[in-house]
Structure 1
Amino acid sequence: MENIYIYMLVALGVLAIADLVVGVSNDAVNFLNSAIGSKAVSFKTIIIVASLGVALGAMSSSGMMEVARKGIFNPGEFMFDEIMIIFTAVMLTDILLLDFFNTLGLPTSTTVSIVFELLGAAVCIALLKISANDAQTIFNLGQYINNEKAIEIILGILLSVVIAFTVGALVQFVSRILLTFKYDKKPSWYGAIFSGIAITSIMYFILIKGLKSASFMSPAVMDFVAADTNILVFGGFVFWTLISFLLIKIFKTNIYTLIIIIGTFALAMAFAGNDLVNFIGVPIAAYNSWEAWSSSGVLPMNYSMEILEGQIQTQPFLLLIAGLVMVLTLWFSSKARSVVKTSVDLSRQEDVKERFEPNFLSRGIVRGTAALGASITYVLPNFINDKINKQFEKPLVTLSLDKKGDLPAFDLVRAAVNLMVASVLISLATSMKLPLSTTYVTFMVAMGTSLADRAWGSESAVYRVAGVLNVIGGWFFTAISAFVAAAIMAVILYYGRGYALTGLLIFAALLLIKNFISHRKQSRQIKEADSLQKAESSSTQGVIVESAKNIANVVKRGNKIYTSAINGLATQNLSALKKNKKNIDKLSNEIDELNDNVYYFIKNLEEPSVEASNFYLNVVGYLQDMAQSLEYISKISHKHINNNHKKLKFSQIKELKEVDERFERFFNNTQTAFESLSFEEIGIILGRRQEIMSLVTDKIQKQVERTRGEESSPKNTTLYFNILLETKDLLNATMNLLQEYYNAHDSTVKPATLSTGNIQK
């Protein structure tokens, strides 16, 4: 019987390491987003600073794991075998839930997930105990569960969201009014005072949140911090203001960069020192439980776990191992960077490809906020409105499009405010012993400062608000799904024991591997060379060359999509048609991105090159027409097979294959011509327009004759006609594109020397 609990301990140890990886990948957004978004220093420097903070935080942790042991349930009411089931269910659920959010690139709270997993598993086991005891009813659940703690945490979630957003917005608004976007032009004492406030806040945060439970901190020091807070804060402000002024005047230091480095270190240290319980607290509590039971000589179902109600110190070597795993995760986790990207993009000052689609709630919030803003503007005198608007004027930055990605998402002032406000709020909540999620606070502060900084303009507000609502909704989904999933895991383990544990571990491993492969595949797709490139040239000749690459790319991929649709219909291969739909969706999205780039492209043009803008607009328009035709063909083909309609007749499939073969030669010739910049070959292809069109028209006429005579399936007839008619539209769009390109090419662009023998008849 003892072997199963050793098996559980080993499994919990492995899960703890995996949970550290997925947990840090998610929580990295808490301390990396401001530094990465502002590009205050290099990414390598940011990771080094964060790693030092994480390592010190892990080592300074006291290892007191109250939340895992007794914060949510009353351990004395459970036996050893029940406690082990609860802890195992919690860890299995936690790693799968956090990895799910990491794969989506959404930040969530590891604190909330672990709390509600403990609550769900404990409630489940408690209900099983109550059902087996005739003397107890559902009303006895309160003696097993710490209800007050759960309610307190839920209220903490709601309060932290509202307070962090509001305070972040107010502080950023005041900071921007005083410092403007041209903060580097302000007198030195402006930056010194701002730095004094910011660094004092962050240092107080380090003492209160980061080092409060460190074993090496003297009790006298902590007593002084608690008793003489006002003196500490005021003295720190004066000291850091003077130091900052000297650094600015004498050493010409960028004080805002210094604030960001210190703030990143502080939040990383606090995260590791205090959130470590979310990852290793449960396995350590399980190990402590096993130690106590194994030396007792009592049966596991009779050994009460009252021992967990006391305080147990975690071994330093365990903290060292945990810190090492966390640091390695920071360096190598791609999922950590995707989670950070979500937060940074939602905060970005400039336009970006929006990830989230607007919904009725985001539209309503934006309309209401816009109406409120208009009312406030109407009430305020004009000179005040003018003064405020002047403070928000941004310096004109002229960068070529290829350098546009080098711009930071937001400036150093906003990054410093993010870190300062998050530090203050977390410090206050900690000193008042209020439950607070560092993820919720840091994310909502960043969103509040974005709003106040006018980063959410009329062209991006509905998307950004929808993104924030998605993330907040994900937080509540975390709580609900953690509760339910942990309860289900507990039931399975309760009845299945060792067999169930083995099955669940295999299931978890397969799911983690699947998510890893899926995320890596998505990352590669983002970077792959086969995607369309935005125009960066400022002359007609340059745009022609760049457009040729995109046209060759679209034609090559369009050829595959068209052929896959016909082959999928012929073989009734639903999975191939489904994959084909995804391919055309990806192509359409890339072409839409080219269209979204039109504004920046035109702004980047040389004055005499107005023709290039017309050419570029026409090219993108024809590419969109091609994508729409391919999308329609792919969609109706998939719909026909998905609805289990009759298979196309052999004669219909044969004719479609003839059209496909002719189109394949047409697309291959077009691709070759554009890849080689051979305009003579483009002219030859244009000369065969009527030949290809006649082929399609002939197939349509044959179907008309079949319909009047032998055809008996309306669905087949409709599908066949729609494919051929859309094929004509595809041909027209492609030929118009070729004609546009043929007419616009500059005589100075020297085509490659190719013989017309490359053109297939």
Structure 2
Amino acid sequence: MEQFYIFMLVALFALAITDLVVGVSNDAVNFLNSAVGSKAASLKTILIIASIGVAVGAIFSSGLMEVARKGIFNPGQFYFNEIMVIFMAVMITDILLLDLFNSLALPTSTTVSIVFELLGASVAISFIKIINSNGALGEISNYINGAKAGEIVVGILLSVIIAFTVGAIVQWISRFVFSFHYQKRIKYVGAVFGGVAITSIVYFILIKGIKSVAAIPQSFLSFVDGNKPLIVIACLIFFTAISQAIISYTKYNLLRAIILIGTFALALAFAGNDLVNFIGVPIAAYQSYEIWHGAYQSTGVLPNELVMSGLSGKVETPTYLLILAGLVMVVTLWLSKKARSVMYTEINLARSSEGAEKFEPNFLSRIIVRASVNINGAIATVLPNSIQDKIDLRFSTDDKKAVKHHNDEPAFDMVRASVNLMVASILISLATSLKLPLSTTYVSFMVAMGTSLSDKAWGRESAVYRVAGVFNVIGGWFVTAIVAFVAAALFATLIYFGKGIALVLLLILAVLLLARSFMVYKKTEKEKEASQKIDRTSLITINEIISESSDNISKVIKRINKVYTEVVDSLGLQDLNKLKKLKKQLSKLENEVDTLKSDIFYFIKSLDERSVEASKFYILTLDYLQDMVQSIGYISKNSYAHVNNNHKNLKFNQIRDLKKIDDKLHVLYERIKDDFDGDTFEDIADIIDEKKELLEYVSGLIQKQIERIRSTETSPKNTKLYFSILLETKDLITATINLLSLFKEFHSDFKRLR
């Protein structure tokens, strides 16, 4: 019996280490995005500072472990064996849920996940206890700390609104003061801004941090607690003077100092506030075991007889466990690639530049953007022109070139990054000092979105996509709550009735799912690296344009060639699953070509004067590539729809004719690919002639099918599919000929001019 609970404890701490890894991977975005997005320092420097903050915050977090022990349920209503079931269900659910969001590169709330997991598991066990004792369902209030759970949920929801609003207001004021030409104005107002920003951040560090350090005398703590206004005023004067000295007598960027201090503070807040989400449950389980084991040795009480009222008291968390947790978090911070993926999702939504958008617009985003445009128009009619002009001047970015930002350029400037960190640190520190486990993810994300909005980062070109992205992330938060509750309740029920067998099976399931997630993520990252193209805005010479175009043509030709063959083969075999996969692959290819076309504006802007004429060639090349992709896409979609609707198979003669086309097309496409891979374009004229012959062959098959209809063909659906394949094949060949002719002509002209 005792060995079984020791096994559960070992499993819980193993899960806790894994949970720390997946949790930090998701929550690193909270304190890294501002510094990384603004390029305030090198990534290595930012990580060093964040690591120190995480390590210090981990040591300061001991007082918050009460949430896992008694924040959601009343431990005095549960026996030891029931408490352990709840904790096991919570940890298994938490790991799987957080890893899912990491794999999707979406930030979610570790606080919300742990709260609703505890709620779901404890509600499930409570209902089982009530049913077993023939009690009324209304007795659930005796088991669940509904007031505390409600307080946490309301606090989290309010934090979303408050964070967005405060972030937007503070950023608007800061931008109005500094404008985008902050390098000039910082000489005059930078000292006050620096004094306020650093004071707020340092105040948070001191007021929250020193209370958890045992070495600090109680008399000093009492002095700090009783003289907060005095300390704030003194810090404000001191740091304003320091900021002015930095501006006047050094060349160091004051905003960079604020960002790095803020990164440290937010990392500290993350560890101090969110560590409970990762190790609070295993520590509570360990403390439960100690309480039961002590009672068992003295009285022989069984696990299902000992009520866990002991968890309601104040229990200190061992310092060595906090240090170990901090070490795991720091190592994860440096090594986790998923943390980078989640971080860049938020940076992408907050960036000032235009470019490819990750999220597709939806109904809500369109309505909100349209309403915002109308409201702005109404305000403009009321506000005097002189005031409008003054505001517009402050928010003007006319000194910026209309060229897409490169990957090595900041996503936003240091003014916005400073506000992000300052506001998020203040809000999180207030909640932490009040012992409220608010979501640092929600706060940091919504502050970043609020500052982006007021900073006019979401222009008419990008707003509908960015707002859709925000809704996707927020929607994911609600999904987190629902899935966490349901999954934890389900797992708790399975473990309660299935005992050791169910526990082992669930642990094996968790390991398999995590392993699968890791393999899928690794494969996805490899595909991303393989498909990465150079930035079109860097193509400024004709040679580079030809090289980029050759690369694009070769890759598209290769994929079209492969898909055409697989579609014909799958039609012959009536392989629905394969056709479905091909349809998805082609959607991805269509998106890639569409992304190339969306960069045309920035591409033309970046060309040197001697290469401007090449822009027409590049545009037409992409247009023909899009025609080719659309043709093979129609072939794939029509074939899938035909088989999916269970229509009659194509006849043997029809499949045979399509296979002949495929064989001829395959040979020609392989020659085209070899030419463009090797940058040898001497065979293009011969290939064009052979393509024309293939075009005539396809036209002959169309006439042949017309004769079949007049004599033997009996299926209108077969005829429709066959004709659509032949006609789209003709369009595919025609687009290929046009592309080759264009390339041949442009290459010949370039050689003559050179």
| Counterpart amino acid of residue 62 in structure 2 | S
Post-superposition shift, 1:701?
A: 2.2
Matched, 1:53 2:56: no
What is the rounded CA distance, in whole Å, between the counterparts of 2:266 and 2:146 in structure 1?
Answer: 30
Give the conservation status (yes or no) of the 8 Å contact 1:167–1:421.
yes
Give the conservation status (yes or no) of the 8 Å contact 2:269–2:428.
no
Matched, 1:508 2:510: yes
Partner of 1:368: 371
Partner of 2:462: 460
Selected match of 1:302 from 296, 300, 305: 305
SS of equivalent to 1:269: helix
SS of equivalent to 1:406: coil
| Counterpart amino acid of residue 137 in structure 2 | I
SS of equivalent to 2:62: coil
Give the conservation status (yes or no) of the 8 Å contact 1:62–1:215.
no
Matched, 1:229 2:225: no
Partner of 1:754: none
Matched, 1:543 2:542: no
| Counterpart amino acid of residue 305 in structure 1 | M
What is the root-mean-square deviation of aligned Cα atoms in Å? 1.9
Post-superposition shift, 1:4?
A: 2.2
Give the conservation status (yes or no) of the 8 Å contact 1:530–1:553.
no
Partner of 2:67: 67
Cα deviation, 1:540-581, whole Å, max 9, x if unaligned, reads 444233212211121112111111211222223333323322
Q: Within 5 Å, which residues of 2 pair with 1:244-263?
A: 244-263=243-262
Cα deviation, 1:101-157, whole Å, max 9, x if unaligned, reads 1111111111111111111111111111111113x2111111111010111122112
What is the rounded CA distance, in whole Å, between the counterparts of 1:477 and 1:541 in structure 2?
Answer: 50
What is the rounded CA distance, in whole Å, between the counterparts of 1:233 and 1:533 in structure 2?
Answer: 48
Post-superposition shift, 1:709?
A: 2.6
Give the conservation status (yes or no) of the 8 Å contact 1:532–1:591.
no
Matched, 1:444 2:450: no
Selected match of 1:662 from 661, 664, 674: 664
Partner of 2:267: 268
Partner of 1:203: 202
What is the rounded CA distance, in whole Å, between the counterparts of 1:40 and 1:110 in structure 2?
Answer: 27
Matched, 1:715 2:717: yes
Matched, 1:394 2:397: yes
Partner of 2:327: 324
Cα deviation, 1:73-112, whole Å, max 9, x if unaligned, reads 1101100111110000110111111111111111111111
Cα deviation, 1:195-246, whole Å, max 9, x if unaligned, reads 1111001111112344443434443333333322211111111111111111
* Structure-2 change in CA distance of 1:64 and 1:361 (3 Å): closer
| Counterpart amino acid of residue 569 in structure 1 | L
Partner of 2:354: 351
Partner of 2:121: 121
Matched, 1:684 2:686: yes
Post-superposition shift, 1:352?
A: 2.8
Partner of 2:41: 41
Give the conservation status (yes or no) of the 8 Å contact 1:121–1:483.
yes
Post-superposition shift, 1:436?
A: 2.3
Moved more, 58-67 or 387-396: 58-67
TM-score under structure 2 normalisation? 0.96
What is the rounded CA distance, in whole Å, between the counterparts of 1:218 and 1:424 in structure 2?
Answer: 25
What is the rounded CA distance, in whole Å, between the counterparts of 2:221 and 2:599 in structure 1?
Answer: 56
What is the rounded CA distance, in whole Å, between the counterparts of 1:219 and 1:641 in structure 2?
Answer: 78
Give the conservation status (yes or no) of the 8 Å contact 2:198–2:239.
yes
Q: Within 5 Å, which residues of 2 pair with 1:556-705?
A: 556-705=558-707
| Counterpart amino acid of residue 724 in structure 1 | L
Which blocks of at least 5 consecutive residues in structure 1 are unaligned? 752-761
Partner of 1:93: 93
What is the rounded CA distance, in whole Å, between the counterparts of 1:640 and 1:214 in structure 2?
Answer: 71
Partner of 1:8: 8
Give the conservation status (yes or no) of the 8 Å contact 2:64–2:435.
no
What is the rounded CA distance, in whole Å, between the counterparts of 1:290 and 1:646 in structure 2?
Answer: 66
Give the conservation status (yes or no) of the 8 Å contact 1:52–1:265.
yes
Post-superposition shift, 1:535?
A: 6.2
Post-superposition shift, 1:534?
A: 3.0
What is the rounded CA distance, in whole Å, between the counterparts of 1:501 and 1:431 in structure 2?
Answer: 37
Give the conservation status (yes or no) of the 8 Å contact 1:532–1:590.
no
| Counterpart amino acid of residue 725 in structure 2 | I
Post-superposition shift, 1:496?
A: 0.5
Query: How many residue pairs are counted as aligned between the two chains?
Result: 749
Post-superposition shift, 1:287?
A: 1.2
Moved more, 85-94 or 741-750: 741-750
| Counterpart amino acid of residue 731 in structure 2 | D
What is the rounded CA distance, in whole Å, between the counterparts of 1:298 and 1:410 in structure 2?
Answer: 62
What is the rounded CA distance, in whole Å, between the counterparts of 2:186 and 2:531 in structure 1?
Answer: 47
* Structure-2 change in CA distance of 1:735 and 1:629 (3 Å): same
* Structure-2 change in CA distance of 1:435 and 1:696 (3 Å): same
What is the rounded CA distance, in whole Å, between the counterparts of 1:316 and 1:645 in structure 2?
Answer: 69
What is the rounded CA distance, in whole Å, between the counterparts of 2:320 and 2:387 in structure 1?
Answer: 60
Partner of 1:755: none
Moved more, 208-217 or 376-385: 208-217
* Structure-2 change in CA distance of 1:532 and 1:718 (3 Å): farther
Post-superposition shift, 1:587?
A: 1.6
SS of equivalent to 2:429: helix
Partner of 2:425: 423
Cα deviation, 1:247-272, whole Å, max 9, x if unaligned, reads 22222110101111100011111211
Post-superposition shift, 1:400?
A: 8.2
Partner of 2:145: 146
What is the rounded CA distance, in whole Å, between the counterparts of 1:647 and 1:452 in structure 2?
Answer: 59
| Counterpart amino acid of residue 596 in structure 1 | S
Cα deviation, 1:336-382, whole Å, max 9, x if unaligned, reads 11111111011000013111111111111111222222222221111
What is the rounded CA distance, in whole Å, between the counterparts of 1:217 and 1:449 in structure 2?
Answer: 38
What is the rounded CA distance, in whole Å, between the counterparts of 2:445 and 2:739 in structure 1?
Answer: 46
* Structure-2 change in CA distance of 1:218 and 1:354 (3 Å): farther
Post-superposition shift, 1:64?
A: 4.9
* Structure-2 change in CA distance of 1:131 and 1:241 (3 Å): same
| Counterpart amino acid of residue 579 in structure 1 | K
Partner of 1:758: none
Partner of 1:26: 26
TM-score under structure 1 normalisation? 0.95
Partner of 1:82: 82
Cα deviation, 1:499-520, whole Å, max 9, x if unaligned, reads 1011111111111111111222
What is the rounded CA distance, in whole Å, between the counterparts of 1:281 and 1:432 in structure 2?
Answer: 18
What is the rounded CA distance, in whole Å, between the counterparts of 1:438 and 1:187 in structure 2?
Answer: 30
Give the conservation status (yes or no) of the 8 Å contact 2:180–2:397.
yes
Partner of 1:378: 381
Post-superposition shift, 1:582?
A: 2.6
* Structure-2 change in CA distance of 1:445 and 1:59 (3 Å): same
Matched, 1:333 2:332: no
What is the rounded CA distance, in whole Å, between the counterparts of 1:725 and 1:211 in structure 2?
Answer: 76
What is the rounded CA distance, in whole Å, between the counterparts of 1:632 and 1:698 in structure 2?
Answer: 21
What is the rounded CA distance, in whole Å, between the counterparts of 2:709 and 2:211 in structure 1?
Answer: 83
